[in-house]
């Protein structure tokens, strides 16, 4: 992964959310290939801060890593970081994540995902960068039923506030790309999993419950499908995109505009996923095999805001970058289990 783009190494990259799951893995990959990384994270207590601190401790081993413990809603502080960093590229991954949590703490999503992203856009405006890559989510597809999900189709009906804030981010980025010429790429992640993952995600919850002899919750009775994407494949896609800033799409038709691109701004939206949908029960079966234990299953009704299936069409990302995810769920779940048992022990 890191060797594929050695010709663009030695860049200086700002990564927001560097203590988070994807952010940590991206920082490790950038540092491994010789880039300098300016990490920004507020290290909230949405989930165990000790896990975030452990990720940061590993990043701190590198001389090329500089860390700022800063709330992105503090626009002045963010601008100062961008000014001193003089970075050519920004990857904005910081966000209040989690679909279910948005039902309990909606205000956290506005502060982090809207106010925080506005600070990043304003900092890019004050201190121009070559490329802003920002995280969106497959959740923006919401009520869209056609599979696989394609960027050129609309996503006007999100089903949760989390998804709505990410949809808002996409529109905010387009506006700033148009008004201030900030080249921006929004990436829609699909069910990311792997070592150092978040404790609120299914694989972490299932593993912990099985090892502790507790039932695992399966919503919609387990009748769900997801495009499970291993974190290293996500990082590979981000690395490929970084040096490829968008321009204006010459094929854009004002009579039939493409929601994934723009004829008036250097802007685009791209899916990053495995490109394959898998039943949730297969995910559970792989985990049971890797742990050597059977799961006690608690079958529950469908959750508010949830969808039965996700599936990414990644053909546009492949066309642009050659992206070709290689990690199947047997390998990926196995690597997560190895990490979990090493980090937490068997009980």
Bridge partners of 272?
A: 189
pLDDT for the residue numbered 114? 96
Which structure tokens are listed for 210? 């099985």
Neighbouring residues of 57: CB distance < 8 A, sequence distance ≥ 6: none
DSSP letters, 64-107, are TEEEEE--TT-HHHHHHHHHHH--SEEEE------TGGGGT-HH
What stretches of the chain show up as alpha helix (H) in DSSP? 21-32, 49-59, 75-85, 106-109, 116-126, 161-180, 202-211, 231-241, 280-291, 315-321, 329-344
Which CATH superfamily hosts domain 2-198+231-275+313-326?
Answer: NAD(P)-binding Rossmann-like Domain (3.40.50.720)
Tell me the pLDDT tens digit for each residue of 107-160: 889 989 999 999 999 999 999 999 999 999 999 999 988 899 999 988 889 999
Q: How confident is the model at residue 4 (pLDDT cuts 50, 70, 90)?
A: very low
Query: What percentage of the chain has pLDDT greater than the value 70?
Result: 97
Q: What is the pLDDT of residue 140?
A: 95
pLDDT at 9: 47
Structure tokens at 50: 């000790």
Looking at residue 79, what is its pLDDT?
98
pLDDT of residue 8: 47
pLDDT, average across residues 221-250: 95
Res 252: pLDDT: 85
Q: Which of 228, 224, 223, 222 is nearest to 203 (CA)?
A: 228
Task: Round the average pLDDT of the chain to a whole number and report it.
Answer: 93
The pLDDT score that the predictor gives to residue 346 is 61
Domain residue ranges of the chain, discontinuous segments joined by +: 2-198+231-275+313-326
Q: Is the pLDDT of residue 164 over 90?
A: yes
Average pLDDT over residues 53-75: 96
What one-character-per-residue DSSP string does 142-179 give? TT--SSSB-TTS-----SSHHHHHHHHHHHHHHHHHHH
Q: For the sheet with 12-16, list strands across it.
A: 65-69, 36-41, 12-16, 89-92, 131-137, 184-189, 267-272
- pTM: predicted TM-score of the whole model, two decimal places: 0.94
Q: Coil, strand, or helix at residue 251?
A: coil
2 pLDDT exceeds 70? Answer: no
Using a 10 angstrom Cβ sphere, with 0-12 exposed, 13-18 middle and 19 or more buried, the burial of residue 279 is middle
Question: CB 45: neighbour CB atoms within 10 A?
Answer: 7
Q: Which of 24, 162, 193, 267 is catalytic?
A: 162
Residue 7 clears pLDDT 50, i.e. is over it: no
| Cα–Cα distance for residue pair 176/329, rounded to 1 Å | 38
pLDDT tens column, 278-295: 999 999 999 999 999 999
Q: Is 47 a catalytic residue?
A: no
Q: How confident is the model at residue 249 (pLDDT cuts 50, 70, 90)?
A: confident
């Amino acid at each position: 992964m890191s060797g594929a783009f050695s010709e663009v190494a030695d860049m200086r990259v700002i990564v927001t959310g560097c203590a988070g799951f994807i952010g940590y893995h991206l920082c490790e990959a950038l540092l491994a290939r010789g880039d300098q990384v300016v990490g920004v994270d507020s290290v909230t207590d949405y989930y165990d801060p000790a896990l975030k601190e452990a990720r940061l401790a590993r990043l701190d081993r590198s001389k090329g890593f500089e860390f700022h413990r800063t709330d992105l809603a503090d626009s002045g502080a963010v601008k100062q970081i961008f000014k001193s960093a003089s970075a050519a590229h920004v990857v904005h991954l910081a966000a209040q994540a989690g679909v279910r949590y948005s039902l309990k703490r909606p205000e956290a999503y506005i502060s982090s995902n809207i106010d925080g992203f506005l600070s990043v856009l304003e900092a890019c405006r004050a201190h121009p960068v070559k490329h802003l890559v920002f995280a969106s989510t497959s959740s923006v597809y919401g009520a869209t039923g056609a599979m696989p999900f394609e960027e050129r189709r609309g996503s006007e009906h999100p089903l949760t506030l989390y998804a709505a804030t990410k949809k808002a981010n996409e529109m905010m980025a387009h506006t700033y790309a148009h008004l201030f010429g900030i080249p921006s790429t929004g990436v829609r992640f699909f069910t990311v999993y792997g070592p150092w993952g978040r404790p609120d995600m299914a694989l972490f919850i299932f593993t912990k419950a099985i090892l502790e002899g507790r039932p695992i919750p399966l919503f919609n009775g387990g009748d769900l499908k997801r495009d499970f994407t291993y974190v290293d494949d996500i990082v590979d896609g981000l690395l490929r995109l970084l040096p490829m800033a968008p321009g204006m799409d010459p094929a854009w038709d004002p009579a039939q505009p493409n929601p994934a691109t723009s004829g008036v701004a250097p802007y685009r939206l791209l899916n990053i996923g495995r490109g394959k949908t898998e039943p949730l029960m297969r995910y559970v079966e792989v985990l049971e095999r890797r742990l050597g234990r059977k799961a006690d299953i608690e079958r529950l009704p469908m959750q508010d805001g949830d969808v039965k299936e996700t599936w990414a069409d990644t053909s546009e990302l492949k066309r642009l970058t050659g992206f070709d995810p290689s990690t199947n769920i047997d390998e990926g779940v196995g690597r997560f289990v190895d990490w979990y048992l090493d980090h937490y022990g068997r009980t």
